[in-house]
Amino acid sequence: MATQLATHIVTFQLNGRPHAVTVAPLTTLRTALREDLHLHATKAGCGQGGCGSCTVLLDNELVLSCLVPVTLVDGRSVTTLEGIGGPGRLHPLQEAFHDHFAAQCGYCTAGMIMAAKWLLDRNPNPTRAEIQMALAGNLCRCTGYVPIIEAIEDAARRMSKGVKR
């Protein structure tokens, strides 16, 4: 269609800083993050809400960014993997994923870490079954999940030690 659709300006907090994007209606949060803001940790998997590779936090709740129109985040706060840590300042979850070899191709990793962060923010000392349930919406083709679960258990231990210190 040649008709030019109206664009929207959306402003929101992204990883603790104000950002604005100018987007066509129904642009997803995932597309805005990856293509307009060039943050590529959040992955584009199925685009149907089925794989979890696009998982981010919206006002500290887990959302699948492929299902969220970015206009809905206007005035709200979004956290992506880039916002919780990076080279030289790794989050304990990132450290533990690294140490436990919890990524092979890495396509699921950002979503897994965001789901794990959501869990540990609410439940700093989860059981293995609680970790498994928290990851149930995130698919991994490579690892068989075991190293991911072990990394999250280890991160929980590291973080609880950090609090005591």
Please report whether residue 141 would count as binding other proteins according to CB under 8 A: yes
Beta carbon of residue 35, minimum distance to ligand FES (angstroms, whole number) = 14
Q: In this structure, what is the dihedral angle of CA atoms 75, 85, 41, 43, given to the nearest 10 degrees?
A: -80
Report in angstroms how near the CB of residue 127 gets to other proteins at its nearest: 13
Q: Which does 138 bind (CB under 5 to 8 A by kind): other proteins, ligand FES, none?
A: other proteins
The residues, any chain, with a CB within 8 Å of residue 145's CB and separated by 6 or more, are: 132, 135
Q: Which of 107, 45, 51, 48 shows the shortest CA–CA distance to 81?
A: 107
Residue from 19, 77, 95, 139 binding other proteins (CB under 8 A): 139
In the 8-state DSSP scheme, what is residue 25? T
38 contact partners, CB below 8 Å, separation of at least 6: none
Positions in 115-134 near other proteins (CB under 8 A): 131-133
> Structure tokens of 140?
């991994």
Give me the least distance between CB of 30 and ligand FES, in Å please. Answer: 6
Q: With binding defined as CB under 8 A, does residue 138 bind other proteins?
A: yes
Give the dihedral of Cα atoms 9, 40, 15, 92; nearest 10 deg. 170
Applying CB under 6 A, which residues contact ligand FES? 44-47, 49-54, 64, 66, 103-108, 140-143
Chain contacts with other proteins (rule: CB under 8 A): 46, 48, 50-51, 101, 103-107, 131-133, 135-149
